[in-house]
Amino acid sequence: MRRIFASAVIAVITAGVAAAIWTSHTSQAGEQASVQPETALPGTGVSIVLPKGIVHPPLGTMYTDERKETVLAIAVARAESNQENNPILRKVYPEPVEDFHNGSLSGKLYKRTRAKDGGGYDGWWLIAVKGDYVLDLKISYSGRDEGEIEKLKEYLSTVKWDGTLGDSEQAFGVKLTIPGMQVVHAGVGAVLYSANGQTGEKQPNLMLMALPGYIAGGADAFHTVCEGARDRMMAGEAASPLRYQAEHGIQTCDTWGGMSLLGQKYSAVAMLPGGGAFIASGTGDPQVFQRALLGLQVIDR
């Protein structure tokens, strides 16, 4: 399950997200970064001067601008979950690695551009290890300004990290109470609950992964998201029809299938009153999971 958690964290931050670094030349972005206030990113142990237009997400640790052209994403995990040698990610960021130093952090910086490497975005990916933990920070840009990714690079001169695992529930923005399960303190980027509060495949578990931005468009839009999540998370499984429920402004849809000693494979989408939403996926009792989702606690960030 530790490997599953690490993969989920990276999935949260991979889709066009990357990191930034200090460079010696001066640009408008560098000047802006030097005068703007730092922002502490709740629950992560990380602070940074956010690029212009970037706003706090309703849930999770993926920060975007209004157009979704600039994306900043953060994950923290145990050092053994370091994705630096992940062959898939190295193919995504194929350009020569740079050493990174900003006076607070040291690490490795990877790069990709649409012009050289294809795809729909330019990006930076920073890996920094402190003791037993690793910070994985990505920044990406998918807009039309060819020089923007170099400007964004300079914002990493402001990144600080306290070297801790952070608080996964606070960073995510939601806390669940699941009878017989505890939160796993495995890092920031996703939230994992298990029977004994530890990683390990052979026990009931439920993982939360934030969807970027908000679901807008009412019931039809929510249904579309629910169908997409079901098709992705339950691919190849014989699953129940989607079940919809709403309580106290929380809306859920869920499905489940199969049976094992641990329970049934489970997938759900939960949406908060403001439109922030997340996917929940795991193995256990569908009735217990649904009640936990409908009774979730929103954490003020």
Question: Look-up: residue for tokens 């060819």?
Answer: 146
Residue type, 27: S
Domain boundaries, the chain: 2-161, 168-298
DSSP state of 19: -
Q: What is the pLDDT of residue 33?
A: 64
Residue type, 201: E
Contact present, 157 and 140 (Cβ < 8 Å) = no
Same fold yes or no, 2-161 and 168-298: yes
CA of 170: how far to CAs of 43, 51, 188, 191, 244, in Å?
5, 22, 9, 10, 27
- Tens of pLDDT, residues 14-45: 333 322 212 222 234 444 565 678 999 999 99
The CA distance from 75 to 229, in Å, is 22
Q: What is the pLDDT of residue 204?
A: 96
Contact present, 105 and 47 (Cβ < 8 Å) = no
CATH of 2-161 given 3.40.1000.10, 3.40.50.300, 3.90.1150.10, 3.30.930.10: 3.40.1000.10
Q: What is the pLDDT of residue 15?
A: 38
Q: pTM to 2 decimals?
A: 0.86
- HSE toward the beta carbon, residue 24, CA cutoff 13 A: 0
Q: How high is the mean pLDDT in each 10-residue block of the chain (301 residues)?
A: 47 35 31 74 97 94 94 94 84 93 96 95 96 96 94 95 97 98 96 93 94 92 97 90 97 95 95 97 98 97 84
CATH of 168-298 given 1.10.357, 3.40.5, 3.40.1000, 3.30.1330: 3.40.1000
Q: What is the pLDDT of residue 83?
A: 83
Contact present, 152 and 70 (Cβ < 8 Å) = yes
- The DSSP string of 64-90 is E-TTS-EEEEEEEEEGGG--TT-HHHH
The CA distance from 48 to 157, in Å, is 9
Closest residue by Cα to residue 262 from 216, 212, 200, 215: 200
Question: Look-up: residue for tokens 């206030």?
Answer: 37
**Which residues are paired to 3 by β-bridges?**
none
